[in-house]
Structure 1
């Protein structure tokens, strides 16, 4: 099975919701994950969420129906950052 990855960014000063800044499968997914590791960005595997996010365009804000799922992942990432 091919690796899949989606990177989100959220700037609460200018964005209404997190937006997709990178996405890909296979080698591109590997590169996204590698860059995340290099920069200490938490990585969480959520297959259903990744599939939904892969359907979005680059720079597109996530739609309201994904707010809850993305909020859970972002809260997890923020807790990890606070612990380190």
Structure 2
């Protein structure tokens, strides 16, 4: 079954990233489709997604998941740097 979680982080507002969408099956596919529509990169980590699915919408991620989510933000930052260098 397809699973997806979308995170958001506002640097000067949030203490930690928040779950802004999550779901399984058709809902997960809709989240993925929407991300693709807006050219939002997709990071795949089954264990992290399974853990994040337990978190309520608009809730900040718990400290125990910081390391896994930091991995996502490092990956995203590298993608952004690479995209800027190719311009």
TM-score range, shorter chain: over 0.9
Could you tell me the TM-score, scaled by structure 1's length? 0.95
Q: Does 1:16 align with 2:23?
A: no
Q: Does 1:26 align with 2:25?
A: yes
Supply the distance in 2 between the matched residues of 1:53 and 1:61 (Cα, whole angstroms): 10
Q: Whose radius of gyration is greater, 1 or 2?
A: 2
Q: How far apart are residue 8 of structure 1 and its match?
A: 0.1
Q: Does 1:44 align with 2:43?
A: yes
Aligned length: 83
4+ aligned runs moved over 2 Å, structure 1 = none
Could you tell me the TM-score, scaled by structure 2's length? 0.92
Q: For residues 12-45 of structure 1, what are the alpha-carbon distances to aligned partners after superposition, in whole Å with 9 as ceiling and x for unaligned?
A: 1100000000000011100100111111111011
Supply the distance in 2 between the matched residues of 1:65 and 1:42 (Cα, whole angstroms): 24
Runs of 5+ consecutive residues of structure 2 not aligned to the other structure: none
The CA RMSD measured in Å over matched residues stands at: 0.7
The 3-state SS of whatever aligns with 2:35 is: helix
Supply the distance in 2 between the matched residues of 1:81 and 1:38 (Cα, whole angstroms): 18
Runs of 5+ consecutive residues of structure 1 not aligned to the other structure: none
Q: Which residue of 2 aligns with 1:65?
A: 64
